[in-house]
């Protein structure tokens, strides 16, 4: 396994509060002008992913995936916490305290918010050459985690669901290429899911008992490939475009209604945070870049797009 260098460079200090954009203007303008994200930190990660804001924490957390670390934005400082694995795929809060963390091959759980008691409790995908990738929690407190092959072989990925009672992963979708971001509409009736290898954002009808059904292509166009996603309080779907220098906002009918541009090309994931849930935080990656290319890649960015997000769902187990 390649050892990823520590790129934190010590404490990081953010800029002045970003400009407040008015999304409704761009939604009505077919020649919409793009919003510009502001850089929040220095280069703090090799492959930043999975940002999450939790009201109890009053902090943003995300992962430096290939370093096996959870990163916490604590005021002007980024604090790095190892998860005991070469991969830190995703972190989500537990409703009763602590967090659930997907690692290379297993899921780990903590009772404490500082993760000092983090311990693995169940293996996800036992097949050789596989690892966990992206995940999140559904509106009913279940946890979802996707897998991919290290060699990115098409059709080998699986999306698993873990209910709070059994704490055992159950395969829900198979035959995936690169299982990635997922989220739910405000009324919970629609689930969105990115398969980066296929270049598709899928939409499903969603029922807490039946799970996702009626899969259909929600979006197939855009620069780069779809990576992480989140859904705002108005039902807009924000899709991070890896190799695309941007995050796109799609209305519930799939039409493009907003664009946030970033200097780094490898835009990985996004979430809403802050006291009013009106700041969109965006992670970026240095994966596949030379040391002198894109010096701002690996930084955290933010923008206030004129719409608020939904509170993040936590794991009920």
> Which residues are part of the catalytic machinery?
227
Q: Report the alpha-carbon distance of residue 221 to residue 289 in Å, rounded.
A: 24
For the chain, the DSSP string reads: -PPPPP---S-----SPPPB--HHHHHH-TTPPPEEPEE-SSS--SBEEEEEEETTTTEEEEEEGGGTEEEEEETTEEEEEE-SSS-EEEEEEBTTSSEEEEESSEEEEESSTT-TT-EEEEE---STTEEEEEEEE-TTS-EEEEEEETT--TT-EEEEEE-TTT--EEEEEEEESSEEEEEE-TTS-EEEEEETTTTEEEEEEEETTTEEEEEEEEE--SSSEEEEEEEBTTS-EEEEEETTTEEEEE-TTS-EEEEEE-SSSBEEEEEEESTTS-EEEEEEB-TT--TTS-TTTT--EEEB-SS-BPPPP-B--
| Region of 261 on the Ramachandran plot (φ > 0 left; ψ -120 to 50 alpha; else beta) | beta
Radius of gyration in angstroms for the set of CA atoms belonging to the chain, rounded to a whole number = 18
For β-strands 35-36 and 256-261, DSSP reports them as parallel
Write out the DSSP string of 67-98: GTEEEEEETTEEEEEE-SSS-EEEEEEBTTSS
């Amino acid at each position: 396994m390649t050892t990823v260098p520590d790129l934190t460079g010590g404490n990081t200090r953010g800029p002045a509060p970003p400009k407040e954009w008015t999304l409704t203007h761009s939604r009505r303008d077919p020649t919409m002008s793009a919003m510009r994200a502001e850089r929040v930190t220095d280069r703090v990660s090799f492959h930043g992913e999975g940002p999450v804001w939790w009201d109890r924490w009053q902090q943003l957390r995300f992962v430096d995936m290939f370093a096996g670390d959870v990163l916490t934005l604590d005021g002007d400082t980024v604090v790095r916490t190892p998860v005991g694995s070469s991969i830190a795929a995703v972190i989500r809060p537990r409703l009763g305290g602590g967090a659930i963390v997907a690692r290379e091959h297993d899921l780990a759980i903590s009772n404490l918010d500082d993760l000092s008691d983090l311990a693995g409790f169940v293996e996800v995908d036992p097949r050789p050459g596989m690892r966990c990738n992206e995940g999140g929690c559904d509106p009913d407190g279940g946890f979802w985690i996707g897998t991919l092959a290290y060699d990115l072989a098409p059709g080998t990925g699986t999306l698993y669901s873990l209910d709070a009672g059994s704490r055992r992963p159950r395969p829900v979708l198979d035959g995936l290429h690169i299982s990635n971001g997922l989220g739910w509409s405000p009324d919970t009736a629609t689930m969105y899911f990115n398969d980066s290898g296929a270049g598709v954002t899928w939409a499903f009808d969603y029922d807490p008992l039946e799970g996702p059904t009626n899969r259909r292509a929600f979006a197939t166009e855009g620069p780069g490939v779809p990576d992480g996603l989140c859904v705002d309080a108005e039902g807009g779907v924000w899709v991070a475009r890896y190799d695309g220098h941007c995050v796109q906002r799609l209305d519930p009918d799939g039409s493009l209604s907003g664009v946030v541009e970033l200097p780094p090309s490898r835009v990985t994931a996004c979430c809403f945070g802050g006291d009013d849930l009106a700041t969109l935080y965006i992670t970026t990656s240095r994966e596949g870049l030379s040391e002198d290319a894109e010096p701002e890649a690996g930084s955290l960015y933010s923008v206030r797009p004129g719409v608020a997000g939904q509170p993040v769902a936590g794991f009920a187990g």
